[in-house]
Structure 1
Amino acid sequence: MMRRIVPDVVSNQDLLTLPQSATVEQAAIRMAERHVRSVMVVDADRLVGVFTGTDLIERVIAAGKGPKATLLAEVMSTSPETISPDRPAIEALRMMQAGGYRHLPVVHDSKLVAVLSRRDFIREEEEEIDLEEKLWEEM
């Protein structure tokens, strides 16, 4: 199978970013408008956190917080794991599987340049991970 690097998986993205001072309601509206399930939270182009649909459910709604009054800074995942754009795409998929998350920010020179999603990966790459896991289990 041909190995792909991160830029081969995603390109020409119009990233959804918001500042930490944005409210959860603002984030949810923008996510719905763009049909995406995550917002990259930035401070002067530097990634400081990620807010996802899961965060909305677990950290806001289930916690009884109001989306109009809750700031992203209060409920985002801070210091998210990232990957460099020169890394193999399969490495990104492994990171997402190991970490149990669906979105992986791509950062170059401390600047957010893209976001990988589990949906970005073709079936063959997921099958390669499954095969590797089965081989390790058999050893």
Structure 2
Amino acid sequence: MKIRHVLQGKKINTIYSVASSSTVYEALELMAEKNIGAVLVIDNDELAGIFSERDYARKVILQSRASRDTLIEEVMTAKLITVTSDQPLEDAMRVMSDKHIRHLPVVDEGQLTGIISINDVVSTIIRDQKARIDSLENYISGSY
């Protein structure tokens, strides 16, 4: 299975983003409103980074910074790890596990095409396994 299947299986494939000049508070408002754990940072139509709940906890709260006064560019993760939609899903799972990350931007030919989360990956695997089990049960019972 390819990463593209994860993107296709998402109920909503909207990319939520903020500019690096946004405040942490603005990013948190968007994350709360959309019930998401990370936002991409996009400047001039270019992917500049990602800001996650982990960034907030480690780079804002634990450093006693004020969310309304701290800019995203000061605390975002700029060294991005990305995947392509043609890569096997196992690649994304391996990267997420090895690097201890929960969100991966999907970039194809230099263009941002989506973002996947560990939840998206797990949901896709569960759907795929259920379909396989149903198919095998139908085959075994002769009702295929």
Q: State the TM-score, normalizing by the size of structure 1.
A: 0.82
Deviation of 1:79 (Å) = 2.1
Unaligned 5+ runs, structure 2: 127-144
Whole-Å Cα distance in 1 between the matches of residues 106 and 124 of structure 2? Answer: 22
Q: Contact 1:46–1:110 (CA<8 Å) still a contact in 2?
A: no
Name 2:139's counterpart in structure 1: none
Distance 1:124 1:6 in 2: 10
In structure 2, the partner of 1:8 is 5
The answer to whether the 8 A contact 2:41-2:51 is kept is yes
Structure 1 unmatched ranges of 5 or more: 127-139
How far apart, in 1, do the equivalents of 2:33 and 2:123 lie? 28
Q: Per the alignment, in what secondary structure is the counterpart of residue 40 of structure 1?
A: strand
Task: Supply the AA of the counterpart residue of 1:53.
Answer: E
Q: Within 1, Cα distance between the matches of 2:68 and 2:30? A: 14
Q: How does 1:60-139 map to 2 (within 5 A)?
A: 60-122=60-122
Query: Is the Cα contact below 8 Å between 2:6 and 2:124 reproduced in 1?
Result: no
Q: TM-score, normalised by structure 2?
A: 0.80
**Cα separation, 2, equivalents of 1:102 and 1:74:** 21
Offset, 1:118 = 0.6
* Gap change, CA 1:82 and 1:61, over 3 Å in 2: same
Structure whose CA Rg is larger: 2
- Dislocated runs of 4+, deviation >3 Å: 122-126
Measured at CA, do residues 123 and 42 of structure 1 come closer, stay the same or move farther in structure 2, by a change above 3 Å? closer
The secondary structure found in structure 1 opposite 2:5 is helix
Rate the CA distance shift 1:20–1:124 in 2: closer, same or farther, 3 A. closer
Kindly report the root-mean-square deviation, in angstroms, between the aligned alpha carbons of the 2 structures. 1.7
Q: After superposition, what is the alpha-carbon deviation per residue over 1:8-36, rounded to whole angstroms, capped at 9, x for unaligned?
A: 01235111111100100000000000000
The structure carrying a bigger helix percent of its residues is 2
Identity between Structure 1 and Structure 2 (%): 31
Aligned residue in 2 for 1:129: none
